[in-house]
Amino acid sequence: MDVRSYLKISVAVAVATIVLKAGAWWLTGSVGLLSDALESLVNLAGAMFALMMVTLAAQPPDLDHPYGHHKAEYFSSGFEGVLILVAALAIIWAAVDRLLNPQPIEQVGIGLLLSVVSTVMNGVLAWAMLRKSREHRSMALEADARHLFTDVWTTVGVVGGIAAVVATGWLWLDPVIAIAVALNILRESFSLVRRSVDGLMDQAVEPETREAIDKVLEQFRQEATIRFDHVATRRAGQRRFVDLHMHMPPSWSLRRAAAVRTSVEQALMSAVPGLRATIQLLPMDVEVHFGDEKDLL
């Protein structure tokens, strides 16, 4: 399945978990389960927005966007981070009110069963989505997967809290654990927003990707009397880019230099799927110093 198919499944699972968790909250009256149900609403909104952004990112380049629409996925990640933040604040608000006005928890068995079923669904889907996101380097899919994992841990904490309330009779444990869960959700929110901002600011490629690029360039250094410098990389959604200078002997013809450049480009794109390479040809005795005043002339 492709990325969009996983996100469509995520939307369907989000609807199912909303029904299950809302039913669990209605049966028990637990503010912890209410917080869990609220986060599932956020899951639904996040999955739908992620599906929109992935669809946009898959659009081919056009006149207004000659480099494509790949960065749209970063908006999805940032949006999910903001949604998680809002959900966490709503959970804290409800938990504080319940802390000040404790209420007994009812029909615990059925409520917990519904919550556990929804958690298993989310956990299996999140694991599959995270694996797929690494395969396709999809930020939107990864953000949705991590959001689902947050939901899983939220439910685990809530279920544990309710079990503790039943065992001890301390009603204040339910809202306190709900607040603790909300604080954990806030941490995940900040992480998603930060990664989204990093992506929009043209962050360099991953260390393993840069290592693969350097390995290819080193092979060509050994095979021909050429050298490379000013290697700069960036990533935009699923796409990776590298810009560099290739210095060749002044005696080479343009045809020969172009042929070697083509070989380098093909080798780079074979080593890093989805990579786009831009190589500028320069004679061996010509240097370019970025940042010098003469570069602005």
Q: Which domains does the chain have, with CATH numbers?
A: 3-200 (1.20.1510.10), 207-296 (3.30.70.1350)
Question: Per-residue pLDDT for 297 more than 50?
Answer: no
Q: What is the DSSP letter of 60?
A: P
Q: What is the distance, to the nearest Å, from the Cα of residue 128 to the centroid of all Cα atoms in its chain?
A: 14
d(CA 217, CA 57): 30
Q: Please tell me the least confidently modeled range out of 2-6, 113-117, 271-275, 285-289.
A: 285-289
Average per-residue pLDDT for the chain: 78
Q: Which of 136, 104, 119 is nearest to 17 (CA)?
A: 119
Query: Is the Cβ–Cβ distance between 6 and 140 less than 8 Å?
Result: no
Tokens of 27: 């049966």
Kindly report the pTM of this predicted structure.
Answer: 0.57
Tokens of 147: 């959001």
What does the pLDDT read at residue 104?
A: 66
Q: What is the DSSP letter of 293?
A: G
Number of H helices, E strands in the chain: 8, 3
User: Which of 2-11, 67-76, 106-115, 150-159 tops mean pLDDT?
Assistant: 2-11
